[in-house]
Amino acid sequence: MYDIDKYVQAADVDDAVRALTADPKAVIISGGSDVLIKIREGKLAGCSLVSIHGIRELDGVKMEEDGTVVIGPCTVFSHITNNEIVRKHIPILGDAVDQAGGPQLRNIGTIGGNVCNGVTSADSASSLLTLNAVLKLCGPSGSRLVPLEEFYAGPGRTVREHDEVLTEIRITKDNYEGFGGHYIKYGKRQAMEIATLGCAVQVKLGEEKNTVEDLRLAYGVAAPTPIRCRRTEETVKGMPLTPKLADMLAEGALKEVMPRSSWRASREFRLQLVEELARRALAQAVCNAGGEIHA
Ligand SMILES: Cc1cc2nc3c(=O)[nH]c(=O)nc-3n(C[C@H](O)[C@H](O)[C@H](O)COP(=O)(O)OP(=O)(O)OC[C@H]3O[C@@H](n4cnc5c(N)ncnc54)[C@H](O)[C@@H]3O)c2cc1C
C-alpha cells in the first residue's frame, strides 16, 4: 500500500498550477516511477499528489514552423524513441532514453520526470544538454524559459519552484541541424541499470567533412549534476579529424569533471570512463555526421 494523503487529477496545466499553489506540500506525479518509489520507501510518505498524467497538451512531440522541436514532458521514453521527428532530427535523444530501465519502465517513465528529478544519472540529461535544450516552466504568474544547463541546482535539486510545471522541452533547429551525435551509457549490465557514467557528443563538421565546426560534450554521473564540458569544447573547434582531436577531448574532459566514488564505482574508474567514453562517443558521432577520424 502507498501512504498518500490526497490525490488531485489536474484537468490541464492551469488546474495543476492552482492545485500546487493551494498545497505547498503537494508533489507532481507524472509516470510515477520515481515518486511512487519514494512514497514506498517513506521519503514522501503521507504526501499529497497532483497528477499531470493524461493532460493532452503535455504529451507528444511536435515541430514548430521555424523547425524548433517541442517535446511534451509527459511523453514516455518509448514514444520518444519511436517518434518520427526525434528519429529524423534528434536520434541521439531517442537512443539515450531507449537505454533507461526495461520495457515497462520505458512505457511509463516520462522525459519530464527524468529532467525534473534533477539526478545526475538521468539518461536523457546529457543528450539534452548537447542539444542546448530549453525548458518552459509555467507557474501562477506566467511562464519562463530556462536553459537546461541552468536548471540543475545540485544533486536531485533544480531551480523549478514548487508551483511550477514543466510544460515544454524546446530544441531549436540550429542546435540539431547538421549535427551527428552519440550517447553511451556505461552500466554494470545491459538493462535495468542506472548509469555508472553517461557521455554524449554532438558534432558538426566543416563543409569538407574533415574538421570540427562545432562540438558539444556532456556527461552524467561525472559531477553532482549533469554537466557540459564547455572549455574543452572551445579547444577542439576547428581541429582536423585526427587522433589528436580525440586526445584533446578526452584529456580536456578530465579537467572539467568531478566524479565521486560510490558503491557502483570508484572515482578512479569513473575518470577512466570519462576519457574512454569521450573517445568512443566522438568516433561514432563523427561517423554519424558523415566523417571519419583519420590517423
Ligand atoms: C526500475 C526502475 C529503473 C529505472 N531506470 C532508469 C534508468 O535506467 N535511467 C534513468 O534515467 N532513470 C531510470 N529510472 C528513474 C525514472 O524512471 C525516470 O527518471 C523517469 O523518467 C521518471 O519519470 P516519471 O514520469 O515516472 O516521473 P515521476 O515519478 O512522476 O516524477 C519524477 C519527478 O519529477 C517531477 N515531475 C514530473 N513531471 C514533471 C513536470 N512536468 N513538471 C514538474 N515536475 C515534474 C515529480 O514531481 C518528481 O519529483 C528508473 C526507475 C525505476 C523504478
* Residues written for the chain: 295
Choosing from 12, 14, 105 the residue with most ligand 1 atoms within 8 A of its CB, the one to mutate for a pocket test is 105
Nearest residue (CA) to ligand 1, atom 53? 33
> Does ligand 1 have an atom closer than 6 angstroms to the CB of 29?
yes
> Does ligand 1 have an atom closer than 6 angstroms to the CB of 117?
yes
Closest atom of ligand 1 to CA, residue 187: 8
Contact in structure between 223 and 258 (CB atoms under 8 Å): yes
pLDDT for the residue 20: 98
Extended strands (E) in the chain: 4-9, 27-29, 47-51, 61-63, 69-71, 134-139, 142-147, 152-154, 157-158, 165-171, 179-186, 197-205, 212-220, 227-228
pLDDT for the residue 294: 84
> Does ligand 1 have an atom closer than 6 angstroms to the CB of 73?
yes
User: Whose CA is closest to 127, among 116, 113, 115?
Assistant: 115
Assessment of whether the complete model's pTM goes beyond 0.85:
yes
Question: Which amino acid is located at 20 in the chain?
Answer: L
pLDDT for the residue 19: 98
> Does ligand 1 have an atom closer than 6 angstroms to the CB of 35?
yes
Nearest residue (CA) to ligand 1, atom 44? 116
Count of Cβ atoms closer than 10 Å to residue 285 Cβ: 26
Count of Cβ atoms closer than 10 Å to residue 206 Cβ: 14
Q: d(Cα 195, Cα 101) in Å, to the nearest integer?
A: 10
Contact in structure between 100 and 81 (CB atoms under 8 Å): no
User: Whose CA is closest to 138, among 111, 117, 116?
Assistant: 116
pLDDT for the residue 189: 79
Beta bridge partners of 13: none
Query: From the CA of 190, how far away is ligand 1's center (Å)?
Result: 19
Residues 6+ apart with CB under 8 A from 119: 155, 156
Query: From the CA of 31, how far away is ligand 1's center (Å)?
Result: 7
User: Whose CA is closest to 20, among 137, 185, 174?
Assistant: 137
Tens-level pLDDT at each residue, the chain (295 residues): 789 999 999 999 999 999 999 999 999 999 999 999 999 999 998 999 999 999 999 999 999 999 999 999 999 999 999 999 999 999 999 999 999 999 999 999 999 999 999 999 999 999 999 999 999 999 999 999 999 999 999 999 999 999 999 999 999 999 999 999 999 999 987 777 899 999 999 999 999 999 999 999 999 999 999 999 999 999 999 999 999 999 999 999 999 999 999 999 999 999 999 999 999 999 999 999 999 998 7
Choosing from 27, 34, 143 the residue with most ligand 1 atoms within 8 A of its CB, the one to mutate for a pocket test is 34
